[in-house]
Structure 1
Amino acid sequence: MTGRDGPEDPTRAAERLAAMTSRADGTAYLSDWPARDLRELAASLGLRGLGGLRKAELVERVVERTIGYRLASTAVRQR
């Protein structure tokens, strides 16, 4: 990640995303990130095949991998 003000390193970003309780929060957190940094974060989360995705699609994939997956898993367990 870049050394300027802005995106955090992938580990810290993943931890912040894990603490969020809504997809909207995750989307807001990532919306100002440059696409290059989003790709680095996505790769650190194990996402592949991201080369042709637009920035909004990258944000959506990262949010689903982190927050969305957890919310869906929680909903299934509560049934």
Structure 2
Amino acid sequence: MKRLEQAKHNQLVIDKITRTVGYSYRIPSYRAICRILEHHGILSSVGNKWTERSVYRLLQRNGYSGLWGLHKFMLDK
């Protein structure tokens, strides 16, 4: 996957995680996020299944301090 395709894919994943975190009262666990992504057939940019660590690192690379940071960012909007 080329960088532009990878960036679009990562944004798709972040959008899905944002919708999941935004509509829940409590912040879901990383394991729950992995299950949701797997349920929707979304693989990582290299084609692997999601792990808790890969979700966390994806969020970190995009400027969020994990699920908590994403949730806090959404509340501050």
Q: The TM-score by the shorter chain falls in which range?
A: 0.3 to 0.5
TM-score of the pair, normalised by structure 2: 0.41
The structure with the largest alpha-carbon Rg is: 1
TM-score of the pair, normalised by structure 1: 0.40
